């Protein structure tokens, strides 16, 4: 991950987005931040820089050539994002200017920051834990109100508090188990095993709530992936255009118009929906269309929910039934063209599909018309209910795969320790199991970490953060 020798160096990077803008912000962090800016801005050389104060100054390079007039904000050690002495330089937003400013900072003794290095230093200086560090990236990447709300709760430490509470309770249990080992030779019972079992069951239940929240957290963070599937010419492309409020897919009366996966996204009730229109599922001798069908099947496998579309004015055809068997997972069946006369009731359609066997689990049958603007709200509201995204509240949820895996591991180890206590196994065995569970919780928060953990947390960060 980050070379330990860099920790004594002062790092710099562009903290704002690249490209032309009204202003750009460059961040400088490390022990020589104040010295470097005072070399670059001569008017500040004899001033004692005060934390959280703003200074207007001309920034010059080593050749004493003025690059730009900038606004300098100083942050004392212990009072900045990283916990280190920090300078933020606001310049005019020309990429050429920011390039020259960064080059000059390196000439004055700074080194270019690596991705995530500012947040890494904030972690190393106890400004935040690993859960909060992951939340920083989630806040930056949030694309919906719900995702932002969840990420901010994580950044504020709400999820960390949950894990810290679990860590404290587990430490209490482990301490009493180890105390019983120390006093076993004297015949002293430190704590009743039944009390320990009850406390561990409560711990397991709390962890189960957190691990179960991951599916919801993932939806809030990444959105819900929907895949439109079915025979050619049943209205999938029209439905995609309706759902994403854009003409993403070409719509014609010719079967097989869509030959590849067409994607679009939309927002509904604060949740992002990523929707794919796939090539019609049918046997074909057309090489290009056949490639599209194979891609469609792969896309269906990667989706959270399949929207299986059929023409309700024709009723379920043999082709619909055959293609339905090709779908995996869960499916919401859209009986399209419901504005036209149709003979089959939703309950009859559902029964017919369920009797097939071998296909996806039918969640519901939803009569819609791709030409009706109200169809969008009807479909997305039903999907939100199915996926549980409407249940989002102010409760803390986890959205990181790393946190989920470690929480799950800790929960199973606690469950194992309960079994060991119930089977009257030696305290040494129980203690070792609980130590492994505690270690998993400590890895979540960053009490224990190695290069592999650090790489997993910080590898997706952008420069300047």
Inside any domain, residue 390: no
Residue 377 in domain: no
Structural domain includes residue 453: no
Q: What is the pLDDT of residues 270-319, one digit of tens each?
A: 888 999 887 655 455 454 555 555 666 666 677 788 899 989 888 888 88
Q: What whole-number distance in Å separates Cα of residue 370 and Cα of residue 314?
A: 15
The helices-and-strands tally (H runs, E runs) of the chain is 15, 12
Domain limits for position 338: 223-368
Beta strand pairing status for 224-230 and 305-311? parallel
| Same domain as 157, residue 124 | no
Burial-class residue 138 by CB neighbours within 10 Å (0-12, 13-18, 19+).
Answer: buried
Q: Which two tokens stand for residue 283?
A: 């046997």
Give the burial class of 254: count Cβ atoms within 10 A of its Cβ; 0-12 exposed, 13-18 middle, 19 or more buried.
Answer: exposed
Residues 267 and 322 in one domain: yes
Residues 244 and 337 in one domain: yes
Residue 420 in any domain: the answer is yes
SS3 label, residue 273? strand
Q: Please give the chain's pLDDT, 465 residues, in tens.
A: 667 678 789 999 999 988 899 999 999 999 999 999 999 999 999 899 999 999 999 999 999 999 999 999 999 999 999 999 999 999 999 999 999 999 999 999 999 999 899 999 999 999 999 999 998 988 887 877 778 888 888 888 899 999 999 999 999 998 888 877 666 555 555 667 888 999 999 999 999 999 988 888 888 888 898 988 888 888 888 899 888 887 755 554 544 444 456 888 888 888 889 998 876 554 554 545 555 556 666 666 777 888 999 898 888 888 888 788 877 788 899 999 988 887 788 888 888 888 777 667 888 899 999 889 899 999 999 998 888 765 555 567 888 999 999 999 999 999 999 999 898 887 888 889 999 999 999 999 998 877 787 888 887 778 777
Are 247 and 364 within one domain?
Answer: yes
User: Could you tell me if 102 and 11 lie in one domain?
Assistant: yes
φ, ψ for residue 9, nearest 5 deg:
-95, 160
Asked if residue 160 and residue 36 are part of one domain, the reply reads no
Instruction: Tell me: do 281 and 316 sit in the same domain.
Output: yes
Q: Extract the tokens encoding 57.
A: 């100054």
Domain boundary among 128, 148, 167: 128
Domain contains 454: no
Who's near 46: CB < 8 A, 6+ residues apart?
none
Please choose, from the candidates 203, 178, 173, 163, the residue with its C-alpha nearest in 3D space to the C-alpha of residue 441: 163
Rounded CA separation 86/152 (Å):
24
At what angle are helices 130-141 and 158-183 packed, to 10 degrees?
Answer: 160
Cα–Cα dist 343/230, whole Å: 20
Q: Are residues 258 and 172 in the same domain?
A: no
Domain end point (choices 67, 94, 128):
128
The per-residue pLDDT for 85 is 97
DSSP string for 167-186: HHHHHHHHHHHHHHHHHGGG
Q: What 3-state class would DSSP assign to 63?
A: coil
Rounded CA-CA distance 153/116 in Å is 20
pLDDT at residue number 270: 80
Residue in the block written with tokens 């904030």: 122
CATH number of domain containing 144: 1.20.120.430
Residues 6 or more apart whose CB falls under 8 angstroms from that of 355 comprise none
Whether residues 346 and 245 fall in one domain: yes
Residue 24, domain CATH: 3.30.1360.120
Report the length, in residues, of the chain.
Answer: 465
Backbone angles phi, psi at 35, to 5 degrees: -60, -45
Number of domains in the chain: 3
> Rg for the chain (alpha carbons), in Å?
29
User: Which pairing describes strands 66-75 and 86-92: parallel, antiparallel, or unpaired?
Assistant: antiparallel
Burial (CB count within 10 angstroms: exposed 0-12, middle 13-18, buried 19+), residue 6 = middle
CB distance 13 to 88 below 8 Å: no
Whether 461 is in a domain gets the answer: no
Task: Report residue 257 as tokens.
Answer: 């118009």
Count the neighbouring beta carbons within 10 Å of the beta carbon of residue 42: 14
Q: Supply the CATH number for residue 233's domain.
A: 3.40.50.300
Segment 435-452, tens digit of pLDDT: 999 999 999 999 887 778
Residue 382 lies in a domain: no
Does 228 share its domain with 349? yes
Strand ranges of the sheet holding 23-29, from the earlier edge strand across to the other edge: 54-60, 66-75, 86-92, 23-29, 11-14, 111-112
301 and 287 fall within a common domain: yes
Is 112 in the same domain as 243? no
Q: Is-contact 106 112, C-beta < 8 A?
A: yes
Question: CA-CA distance, 252 to 71, in Å (whole number)?
Answer: 57
Question: Is 160 within a domain?
Answer: yes
Q: For residues 120-134, b (16+ Cβ closer than 10 Å) or e, as one string?
A: bbbbbbebbbbbbbb
In whole angstroms, what is the distance from residue 314 CA to residue 320 CA? 11
CB 224 within 8 Å of CB 271: yes
What order of strands is seen across the sheet that includes strand 305-311?
262-268, 271-277, 224-230, 305-311, 330-336, 361-367
């Amino acid at each position: 991950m980050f070379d330990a020798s860099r920790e004594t160096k002062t790092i710099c990077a562009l903290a704002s987005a690249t490209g032309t803008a009204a202003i750009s912000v460059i961040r400088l962090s490390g022990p020589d931040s104040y010295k470097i800016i005072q070399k670059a801005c001569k008017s500040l050389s004899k001033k004692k820089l005060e934390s959280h104060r703003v200074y207007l100054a001309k920034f010059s390079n080593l050749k004493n050539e003025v690059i730009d007039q900038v606004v300098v904000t100083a942050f004392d050690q212990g009072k900045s994002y990283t916990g280190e002495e920090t300078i933020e330089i606001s310049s005019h937003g020309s990429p050429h200017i920011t390039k020259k400013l960064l080059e000059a900072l390196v000439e004055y003794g700074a080194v270019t920051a690596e991705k995530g290095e500012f947040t890494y230093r904030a972690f190393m200086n106890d400004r935040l834990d690993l859960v909060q560090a992951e939340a920083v990236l989630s806040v930056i990447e949030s694309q919906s109100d719900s995702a932002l709300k969840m990420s901010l709760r994580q950044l504020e430490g709400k999820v960390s508090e949950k894990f810290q509470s679990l860590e404290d309770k587990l430490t209490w249990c482990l301490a009493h188990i180890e105390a019983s080992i120390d006093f076993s030779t004297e015949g002293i019972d430190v704590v009743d095993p039944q009390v320990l079992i009850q406390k561990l069951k409560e711990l397991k239940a709390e962890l189960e709530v957190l691990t179960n929240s991951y599916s919801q957290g993932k939806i809030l963070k990444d959105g819900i992936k929907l895949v439109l599937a079915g025979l050619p010419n049943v209205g999938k492309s029209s439905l995609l255009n309706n759902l994403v409020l854009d003409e993403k897919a070409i719509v014609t009366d010719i079967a097989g118009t869509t030959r590849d996966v067409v994607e679009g996204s939309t927002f509904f009730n604060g949740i992002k929906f990523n929707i794919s229109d796939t090539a019609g599922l049918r046997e074909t001798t057309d090489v290009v269309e056949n490639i599209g069908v194979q891609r469609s099947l792969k896309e269906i496998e990667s989706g959270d929910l399949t929207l299986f579309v059929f023409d309700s004015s024709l009723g379920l055809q043999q082709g619909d039934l055959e293609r339905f068997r090709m779908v995996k997972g869960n499916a919401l069946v859209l009986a399209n063209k419901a504005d036209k006369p149709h003979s089959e009731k939703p309950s009859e359609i559902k029964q017919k599909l369920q009797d097939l066997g071998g296909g996806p689990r039918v969640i519901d049958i939803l009569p819609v018309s791709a030409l009706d603007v109200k169809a969008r709200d009807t479909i997305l509201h039903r999907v939100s209910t199915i996926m549980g995204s409407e249940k989002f509240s102010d409760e803390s949820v986890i959205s990181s795969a790393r946190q989920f895996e470690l929480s799950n591991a800790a929960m199973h180890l606690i469950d194992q320790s309960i079994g060991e206590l119930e089977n009257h196994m030696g305290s040494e065995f129980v203690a070792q199991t609980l130590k492994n569970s505690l270690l998993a919780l400590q890895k979540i928060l960053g009490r224990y970490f190695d290069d592999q953990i650090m790489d997993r947390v910080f590898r997706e960060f952008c420069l300047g953060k």
